Amino acid sequence: MAANYSVLLVAALIVLSLPVLTLFVLAPLVRASRPNKVKLEPYECGVPASSFAFDHRFSVRYFLIAVLFIIFDVETVFLFPWAIRFKQLGWFGAVEMAVFLAILLVGYFYAWKRKVLTWV
């Protein structure tokens, strides 16, 4: 099995080399390149850009969603090993997982109640 992972590693190097070679070796040889000042401005529907994106702040909801995602993704990862041994674990495992899910659902409904999931 470990050999199969080494295949993955070597394949990753091959796959990495493809876009890098295309972008930094092949494309510069053949592509056109005539930059000028106006061309390099950030696009804003043709008018001069009023400000840069780095000057602006964005909604905190994106951050909250990311935090919620981590909680639920860890939950999913926790469910995976249980799901595989689920038939052997039987009712005992099912009840244990039900308790875990119940605790998580409390948090989920708390987030819902605090309008983390509401976007308008």
As measured in angstroms, the least distance from the Cβ of 12 to other proteins is: 6
As measured in angstroms, the least distance from the Cβ of 110 to other proteins is: 13
Contact criterion met (CB below 8 Å) for 62 and 69: no
Alpha helices in the chain (DSSP H): 2-21, 27-30, 61-84, 86-113
Residue at 64: amino acid letter: L
Site for other proteins in 72-101 (CB under 8 A): 72-73, 76-77, 79-80, 83-87, 90-91, 94, 97-98, 101
Based on the shown chain and the rule CB under 8 A, indicate whether residue 110 belongs to the binding site for other proteins.
no
Select 16 or 110, whichever has its Cβ closest to other proteins.
Answer: 16
As measured in angstroms, the least distance from the Cβ of 102 to other proteins is: 11
How far apart CA 81 and CA 12 sit, in angstroms, is 27
Residue 90 burial (CB count, 10 A): 10
How far apart CA 80 and CA 38 sit, in angstroms, is 53
Contact letters for other proteins, residues 1-20 (x by CB under 8 A): x-xxxxxx-xxx-xxx-xxx
Q: Which of 40, 47, 48, 60 binds other proteins (CB under 8 A)?
A: 40
